[in-house]
Amino acid sequence: MDDQGTQKTLKLLDLMQKTGCPIIQHNGQRKFGPPPYWTGPPPPKGCEIFIGKLPRDIYEDELVPLFSTVGTIYEMRLMMDFSGSNRGYAFITYATREEAAAAVKRLNGYEIRPRRHLGVVKSVDNCRLFIGNIPKTRTKEELVQELTKRVTGLVDVILYRNSFDRNLSRGFAFAEFVSHKAAAMARRELVPGCVKLWGQEVVVDWAEPEPDVDDEIMKTVKVLYARNFAISTTPETIRKTFEDVIKNKLDRVKKIYDYCFIHFYERAHAELAMNKLQKAEIDGSTIEICWAKPVDREQYRLQKEKRGNAKFNKTVDLAETLELYKQHLEKKEYANSSPKDEGIGSAYAGDSPCISPLDFKPAHASLTPSNYMLAPAKLESMCKRYLWLPPIYQYQKYMDPTGVELWVCTVDLPQVGPPLLATPKRIGPLASRICYSTQQAHSEAAEIALQTLKMLRVDLIQQSVPTPVYQMPAMRNCMSFPCDYPTIYPPMQPVMPITIPTIWRTA
């Protein structure tokens, strides 16, 4: 070990001796803490911060004293590489949420070395999964019982009821886990194509993380979010019920389908209403109430595209912003937006599947909304399970006479082998129909590939002759447009391999 390495080791040993906290390296990260005097459970969720833009030669002996000036450090995790340098980022868990918020305010942009400024943000561990394609007749209790047979760390399940028939659900739910790690392990266990609930293949993905709003701002909120109303319940009924409880007038009530935002003149009135009417029954429905989160609607739309562990989210650059804006225009998401949005309902309103069934026009009769999300994940899962080469997608853009962009996607399976084929062979390319977006074309091509593999398996069972490699002629049966379509409408750009962006992935 050189002199510099020796000096660094001595500094770390000195830090351990002064604080009494151990430093242990495990699985590519070095953990400092917890303090020896700590008793009781670890700090609650919301106490962790993410530190980025670290110089690669900086370690605990400099970081711990700096971040200890804000509050008590429960644990620090510094990501390390094999060379002994850090990987440019770390996580620090404080004893309280207030200390974590103070660290973000005081140390974000701190110049730790000449012209080297730290990036410090609140870390949000996403502990929630979206589960779709659930039989609508199943209850919350049945879903909890079924999930606990397969995964661990389940804390709660939010099952959304049908707005018109309270005896049915909407076919999807959100599962809350004790930690991000538990949620990640559950997502791995519930991989599409491998697990069925009550005979149906479910769709499992990260739910969007809840918007993070400063605690000081939340203390000033005077708007409640209430859900689970009957469709027939009128805003006037809601207003009268709440005004009778607080003995005062409301500012306004905005009801949307089975939920509403209730605006109060005084914070104390909102607190009283929440305490008195939580789990109350109105028109035969048991309502649930929480504080509405006053987040910026446009910023929230962009953040929704960043699912999973929010601690790794990066700032959206201009190109991403324009692309997302284009997608929102295509989906007409701005059509009914208001400059004065009430907010977002915390644990209940902020969650939605990553792709809504209304976000696309199915071009294939068998491609239901659930298959739209499931097919690419199922195909990828099948290739991984049998150690086949991953599918390759290519896209071709056309322009119809009215000026609308149309897309066709082809999928190639470069090497399909055992247990389907004794000798690995290529299957493809297989083409989708004409679609309105690359996402839809991508999903339909995956669905066609799955159907082709299914037919291939049936053929092998019925006859023992070798199965030929599927080439371009086989694609014609899967295409809805004439074979001379490219001649009628020349392609706008050449065929090109594309890696699907994260915001379009379904697994």
**Where do the domains of the chain lie?**
3-122, 128-206, 223-351, 358-504
Question: 169 versus 476: which is more confidently predicted?
Answer: 169
CATH of domain 128-206: 3.30.70.330
CA geometry: angle at 183 spanning 178 and 188, to 5°? 150
For domain 223-351, which CATH number applies: 3.30.70.330, 3.40.50.150, 3.40.980.10, 3.90.650.10? Answer: 3.30.70.330
Q: Identify the pLDDT of residue 64.
A: 93
Q: Which of 214, 180, 230, 174 is nearest to 351 (CA)?
A: 174
Ramachandran angles phi, psi of 343, nearest 5°: 140, -165
DSSP 8-state code for residue 310: G
Q: What pLDDT digit, counting tens, does each position of 128-167 carry? A: 898 888 888 888 889 999 899 888 889 988 887 776 676 7
Q: What pLDDT does residue 71 have?
A: 92
**Whether residue 467 has pLDDT greater than 80:** no
Question: What is the mean pLDDT of the segment spanning 33-45?
Answer: 86
Question: pLDDT over 70 for what percent of the chain?
Answer: 72
How sure is the predictor about 294, in pLDDT bands with cuts at 50, 70 and 90?
confident
pLDDT of 107 > 90? The answer is yes
Q: Choose which CATH entry (3.40.190.10, 2.60.40.10, 3.30.830.10, 3.30.70.330) describes domain 3-122.
A: 3.30.70.330
Q: Are 477 and 433 in contact (CB under 8 A)?
A: no
- How large is the average pLDDT for residues 237-249? 92
Question: What φ, ψ does residue 411 adopt, rounded to 5°?
Answer: -120, 135
User: Which class in CATH covers the domain with range 358-504?
Assistant: alpha beta
Q: Tell me whether domains 3-122 and 128-206 share a fold.
A: yes
Mean pLDDT of the chain: 75
Contacts of residues 276-283 at CB distance under 8 Å and 24 or more positions apart, as own/partner, are 276/245, 277/226, 277/241, 277/242, 277/245, 280/241, 282/229, 282/230, 282/233, 282/237, 282/238, 282/241, 283/229, 283/230, 283/232, 283/233, 283/237
In the predicted structure, residue 261 carries a pLDDT above the cut 60: yes
